Amino acid sequence: MSTRQPSPMRNSPARRPAPVRSDASLSQRAYHLLEEAIVTQQVAPGSTVSEAQLSKLIGMSRMPTREAVRRLARENLLEVRPKYGISIRRIDPGVQLRLLETRREVERLMVRLVARESDVATKAMLQALSSDFQTAAVRPDVLLFVHTDKLFNELCLSTCGNEFVVDTMRLMQGPSRRFWFQRSRDAEILVESATLHAALAAAIAEGDPNVAAHASDRLLDSAERFARRAIEEAGDALAVS
């Protein structure tokens, strides 16, 4: 590994395990653990790591780790470079802003579909997730938000009933989550984002597509504002240097 790259693995505080169902396959478990490790930057953005390092990090064998790596490459969180290793994508607020322009339109469609397709059990799960988001805002609790957000995303994708929406959203959710985590050191961002996610989950549970779409727009308005702030801060830092 190049000595110019950031340290690939970072020490992390004790944390709750990722929200993986007990009946999940090994590859699904590896995916959830590795996705969270990258989102929460236990693996540093811009670093190059090996499959063996990632296997050790999540405590799983090479085969399920390899499958998780392939999936995360499709989701724009890393790049597999034969003979060179696995490159963790850098975080760029300009890229994030362009991503949000696309995500706004697709997510609006997704939440409208979920509001329309949700049965009683799904609505109950959405209400429970809304409550967890509210708890994350009140405490505030970054890891509770990260876990709840992943569960919320997966529930929406499994409910919306449109495979093209699912494929497109998967390209954007991981990078969005990682960008958010980087910015969540600002308590304002954590509280505002968790509160708006709670409102979105509750709005979808109402079953009204228009109400859900409006709540989605409010969330994306907030995300875009924080992305623009990050761009301004990066410009200020360059000016000072």
Q: What's the confidence (pLDDT) of residue 224?
A: 96
Residue type, 4: R
Hey, what CATH class is 93-240 in? mainly alpha
Q: Are 60 and 54 in contact (CB under 8 A)?
A: no
Q: What's the confidence (pLDDT) of residue 186?
A: 84
Q: CB under 8 Å to 69, separation ≥6 — which residues?
A: 34, 51, 54, 78, 80, 86
| Residues 55-113: tens digit of each pLDDT | 999 999 999 999 999 999 999 999 999 888 999 999 999 999 999 999 999 999 999 99
β 78-81/85-88 pair status: antiparallel
- CA-to-CA distance for 64 and 119, rounded, in angstroms? 33
* pLDDT over 90 (residue 2): no
- CA-to-CA distance for 155 and 159, rounded, in angstroms? 6
All CATH 1.20.120.530 domain ranges of the chain, comma separated, are 93-240
- CA-to-CA distance for 11 and 24, rounded, in angstroms? 27
> Which tokens in the block code for residue 11?
């020490």
What is the Cα gyration radius of the chain? 18
Q: 69: how many CB neighbours lie within 10 A of its CB?
A: 21
All CATH 1.10.10.10 domain ranges of the chain, comma separated, are 26-88
- CA-to-CA distance for 7 and 144, rounded, in angstroms? 26
| Residues 16-26: tens digit of each pLDDT | 444 544 445 88
CATH architecture assigned to 26-88:
Orthogonal Bundle (1.10)
Q: What does pTM read for this prediction? A: 0.83
